[in-house]
Chain A
Amino acid sequence: MMNEFKIMTVSATGMSAQRLRLDVISTNIANAETTRTERGEPYRRKIPVFSEYLRRTVDGKVESLGVRVVRIVEDQTPFRLVYDPTHPDANEEGYVQMPNVNVLREMVDLMDAQRAYEANVAAFNVTKSIVNSALQIGRV
């Protein structure tokens, strides 16, 4: 029984990871036009880094407990240059440094995160239906 509960916890970590990814993507989309940050440069696209969550059991085996987010890194690709002399952050030549966020790409990532979340829910539901079937054993 505990094993089924463990699988459910694994699915839960997957959902949490996708949920965090959704947060990061939303932040990227919200800041797609942000030219000012604390560091004085435009906003940099953020990417969550996932890692397999392993744990050593008491009898020396390694078991997977799902996924976890180790850190959130910044995309180091160059900023977009947009010609807009009226912009308050434009340089002498009239160019503005815009964030390296591609909204189209973020939308695709968003859909991916949604589907991945749904996949985790599906895995959870299958586990639950297996448990339910097991409870039906022997019932005529």
Chain B
Amino acid sequence: MVDRIEGLGPIDPRGYQRKDAKADFSEILKEALEKVNEMQKKAEKMADDFATGKISNIHEVIIEAEKASIALRLTLEVRNRIVEAYREIMRMQL
């Protein structure tokens, strides 16, 4: 079900901080990259397992590789958008 779109709450001048956010952006990015790295490693391991005959279904290997590649692209996309926003702010004339 599609939820009702909530209006924006008042912006807190002391700075926006998520309650559950434990870290800054660099740490979140690092975590995401680690996850992506794990997925890439898993895909690579599955390719090895296929080559050595431990896995007989080729589609499992392909799908795992696809997942890893999608996760990497998603992370890159998020990183690019954030960097773009950062640059936008840095270009701001004061």
Contacts and interface: CB of A to CB of B under 8 A. Distances in A.
Interface of A: 1, 4-5, 8-9, 11-12, 15-16, 19, 121, 124, 128, 131, 135, 138
Interface residues of B, number: 12
Contacts of B18: none
B66 interface: yes
> A-B pairs with the 3 shortest C-beta distances?
A15-B59, A12-B63, A135-B77
A12 B60 contact: yes
Given A135-B73, A135-B74, A135-B77, A16 B60 contact: yes
Contact of A8 (B63, B77, B81): B63
Nearest to A128: B66
A121 B71 CA distance: 19
B52 interface: no
Contacts of B42: none
A19 B73 contact: no
A1 B74 contact: yes
23 contacts: A1-B71, A1-B74, A8-B63, A8-B66, A8-B67, A9-B63, A11-B63, A12-B60, A12-B63, A15-B57, A15-B59, A16-B57, A16-B59, A16-B60, A121-B59, A124-B63, A124-B66, A128-B70, A131-B70, A131-B74, A135-B73, A135-B74, A138-B81
B67 A5 contact: yes
B37 to A, nearest CB: 16
Nearest to B63: A12
Interface in B50-64: 57, 59-60, 63
